[in-house]
Amino acid sequence: MKCQKCGKEIKNEFAFCQYCGSPTSPTQEFMIVTTPSIPGYKIKKVLGVVTGLTPRTRGVLGKFVASFQSMLGGEVTAFTTELEKARIEAMDRIKDKAIAQGANAITGLDLETSDLGLQAGVTVISATGTAVIVEPER
Ligand SMILES: [Zn+2]
């Protein structure tokens, strides 16, 4: 099977191109959920834990409100602050990693901020989840 976008050879079972990330079928949508499972889908294969890190300097985080759930509702474009961008970036990174492994979804997503210490003045936003292959339940 060849990717329709970049023309590279991709494995048949892959729902997304592992090179450019484009879906192999027009109806395919990459799903990211915080729950261990996705309603209406069953997990066909667990590929492993993926992590995406985005470092940010301190100060940006003053406005941090951990309302990540609301972000999953679909209003992603409404988020414009630095930290929100950092979170989206961290999620993009785990999504890319998951796609590179052949996943079509991430379950059990967890977003954390960790401090590298006073001297560093850097906070790292990390997204961790499980890369899985899901298929619709019949
Ligand atoms: Zn491609």
pLDDT at 66 over 70: no
What value does the mean pLDDT of the chain take? 81
Ligand 1 mean position, distance from CA 32 (Å):
20
CATH of domain 31-136: 3.30.110.70
- Name the token pair of 98: 């998951």
Ligand 1 mean position, distance from CA 95 (Å):
15
Q: How do the domains of the chain map onto residue ranges?
A: 31-136
Indicate the pTM of the whole model: 0.73
Cβ contacts of 26 within 8 Å, gap of 6 or more: none
CA dihedral 109, 81, 22, 13 (to 10 degrees): 0
pLDDT at 109 over 90: yes
- Predicted confidence band of residue 11 (pLDDT cuts 50, 70, 90): confident
Ligand 1 ion: nearby residues, β-carbon < 5 Å = 3, 5-6, 17, 19-20
For the chain, where are the alpha helices, taking DSSP H only?
Answer: 68-71, 82-100
Ligand 1 mean position, distance from CA 25 (Å):
12
